[in-house]
Structure formats: structure tokens, C-alpha cells
Homo-oligomer: A and B are copies of this chain.
């Protein structure tokens, strides 16, 4: 069943059928004739043929570092909640934190001729910039700031800063910080810098070195908490780059009979479910992950429609959560 068959059955030309589906000018009479045939046959135009001719795939490509993660899961759900209402579909690629793959998938999307790309990024290398520059379609970056590109990101720095200040307000003096890799500019560098600047502003510049870097897993949080405690005697507050790490820290503290919050106050960041099920619950920071996904698609849609977008950078707020 192709457009020509339908045209014959309705006694019109194939162009008329095409116009029927694309809001072209068409007399009432023919519209009715075509509608009847379409209903009878259940005919739907071939997406492939349309794509070949129009160069529009109605697909957007989304690249994420992983998907089994609370924060990224929320971003993806935000993206899909908007896409669901549109005629667009989503191609998803997961890089498993491999920057090489990130570049590969962007190229694959290029070949597939997706109409646009959303990149949930962690680090940027020269290779990234090169591939991004060559992409002939609009891109929106989520979670990181990259100069010259449309991006939606979080105020990691101030959130971390405020969180650290809060620890001082609660009377904690000897803070430690469990960090993510510095090459991750947002979750790694910015959050750590917030901690550093806050302790400096409080006149405790010596705390800046009270840090250890962990991976984004509970197990790593557990292990690195041990290292941090060994390194910094007398710690009474622990701030972590993510809730996952903080949950690992809680495990460690409990096993080693260090009382939370009496002896040690613990905070994570991300406001995940996990932060609420430890005992006691973590102090944490709510970043609007789902919202960032939503905004990213909306920006992308604007780019797709108008070829340009006034708001190029969106920094989202945060909220400290104490249960």
C-alpha cells in the first residue's frame, strides 16, 4: 500500500494524497474521498520515504554516560515526558563513561541524520569539541557548561558552597569532602570548589586538603570514606559530591560505630531516594534533574523550528534538603 495505490482508489493524483497529509490546499470533495480510502485501508505514509525526501527524521539522539543512575534517569524521563507529546522519537546511546564512545555515538547519530542531539555530558575533550563542531544539527548539552553551545546545567558551585556553610552553622569545624573526578567540571570541579571557597571564607583554609576522590558508586563511597578518615583525624562533618557516595559513607560509619549525626554529620547531593532511606536520612541538595531534561528538549525544539534560540544558557537553581 503506497501513496499511488491510495491515489488510484480515491480517484486523485498522488500529489493530492500527499497534500492531504501535509495541509496543502485541497477541495472538500477530494479531502473526503481520500479520508474514506485512508480509513478503509489504514494507510500510513512511509516514514522512510518521507525522510529521504525531506531530510527530517523526526528523531532526536540522546547520549548519556549511563542510564541506571538516579540523576540521569530523571533527566531522561524529563526528556521523554516532552517528547511523548510531540511526534519525535528518541534514539538513546549509553557511553558507560567512555569519552571515546561519546564521540562514536555522536557520529552515528550524524549518519542516522537525527534532527537534533541532546548530550548529557561528564567531561569534554578536544575530540568532543571537534565532533560537536562538525555536527550539522542543533545540540543541547545537559549538566555541563560549554561555551558557545546551548546548555542547561545546575548551580553546582553555589549549592556546594551553601551546603558547606550550613555545616559551619550547625557547629561543625573539621569538615571532609568526598569528591568526584576533577575533569568532570560540574559534579567534580565545581562542587569541590564550592566546598573550598566556603571553608576559606570561614577562615578554615586548611580544610581544603581534607578530600579524597571517589567513583559514583556506593562501594567506592564506602572505601574512600575509610581513606578520608585515616587522612583527617577528628573530622566531624562529611560532605559528598553525590548521594550515592554519601550512602556508601553512611555504611562505613555505621559499621565502624561512628554516630551520625552526633559524631559525624553527613551530606550528599542529588536528592535521590537513596538519600532518604539511610538512617538518619542524609542532608542533601535538590537539583532539578527532570526539569533540566525538560528544558533541554524545549530548547532543542525551538532550535529545530527557528534555527536559532535566544536563550543559549540556562543555569538552574537548587534547594538544600534536610529531613
| In the complex with contacts A52-B49, A113-B47, A218-B273, A67-B57 CB distance below 8 A | no
Q: Which residues of B contact A91 (CB under 8 A)?
A: 59, 89-92
B218 touching A244, Cβ below 8 Å:
no
A278 within 8 A of B: yes
The answer to whether A77 touches B51 (Cβ under 8 A) is no
Shortest Cβ gap from A101 to chain B (Å): 7
Q: Which residues of chain B are within 8 angstroms of A69 by Cβ–Cβ distance?
A: 73
With beta carbons under 8 angstroms apart, the residue of B81, B96, B108, B251 that contacts A89 is B108
Whether B68 lies near A93 (C-beta < 8 A) is no
B89 touches A47 (CB 8 A): no
Return the CB mask of A40-75 against B: 1 if under 8 Å, else 0. 000010111101100001010000001111100110
Cα separation A67 to B293 with both chains bound (whole Å): 13
Report A96-108 CB contacts with B as 1/0, cut-off 8 Å.
1000010000001
State how many copies of this chain the complex holds.
2
Q: Which residues of B contact A46 (CB under 8 A)?
A: 52, 113
B-side contacts of A66, CB under 8 Å = 77
* Per-position binary interface string of chain A over residues 214-226, scored 1 when its CB falls under 8 Å from any chain B CB and 0 otherwise: 0000100000000
- Is there contact, CB below 8 Å, between A89 and B112? yes
CB-based contact A80/B57 at 8 Å: no
User: A128: CB under 8 A from chain B?
Assistant: no
Contact A48 B44 (CB under 8 A): no
Q: In the complex, are the beta carbons of B76 and A68 less than 8 A apart?
A: yes
Docked-complex contact A73 and B67, CB < 8 angstroms: yes
CA–CA, A218 to B70, complex, Å? Answer: 14
Please name all residues of chain B whose beta carbon is closer than 8 Å to the beta carbon of A70 when the two chains form the complex: 68
For residue A104, which residue of chain B has the nearest CB? B84
Known: A92-B90, A276-B251. Contact between A57 and B48, CB under 8 A? yes
A107 to B49, CA, bound (A): 18
B279–A250 touching, CB < 8 Å: yes
A225 to chain B, nearest CB (A): 13
* Chain B nearest Cβ from A108, distance in angstroms: 7
Contacts of A247 in B (CB 8 A): 273, 277
Say if the beta carbon of A274 comes within 8 Å of chain B: yes
A111 within 8 A of B: yes
**Cβ-based interface call for A254 (8 A):** yes
Interface residues of A (CB under 8 A from B): 44, 46-49, 51-52, 57, 59, 66-70, 73-74, 76-77, 80-81, 84, 89-94, 96, 101, 108, 111-113, 218, 244, 247-248, 250-251, 254, 273-274, 276-279
